[in-house]
Amino acid sequence: MKYLQFTLCVFALTIFSFKAVAKKDMLSISPKVCVVSEQQDFCDLDVKFTVSLPKKMDVCLYEHKQQLKCWLQVQVASFDYKAHVHVKTLYSLNNPHTDELLATASIEVQSTHAKVSRRRLRSPWSFF
């Protein structure tokens, strides 16, 4: 009985870990970070999306709520896109028939200059 329970637990963990890894790797994006100067608050990038699905299906790629590209009965696909990124931009891969979210990826914007303000070393209510 113990061996049966152990085998079932190992089997369940294997299935759940496989689903988590597969869901994570369905949509990959390159580059993931955009570095901007202090004067410029946006970034123009040539972004490459790679879609890798466990089976053939219809999918659409979205930037926030705007549709960028759709594929019919695809398992592996790639897409080059000229992005204009202001803040952290989220891309999502959805099933167009059910509107189910399959995967997400994002591009983050980072500044080359550090913040000027410093953290106070003592509390403002201290008398000393």
Instruction: Give the pLDDT confidence of 68-91 residue by residue, as tens digits.
Output: 989 999 889 888 988 888 777 888
Tell which CATH classification among 2.60.120, 1.10.1790, 1.10.287, 2.60.40 matches the domain 31-111.
Answer: 2.60.40
pLDDT at 21: 39
pLDDT at 60: 92
pLDDT at 116: 61
How far lies 97's CA from each of 2, 51, 102, in Å?
A: 44, 18, 12
Cβ-proximal residues to 82 (8 Å cutoff; 6+ apart), any chain: 44, 45, 46, 47
pLDDT at 59: 92
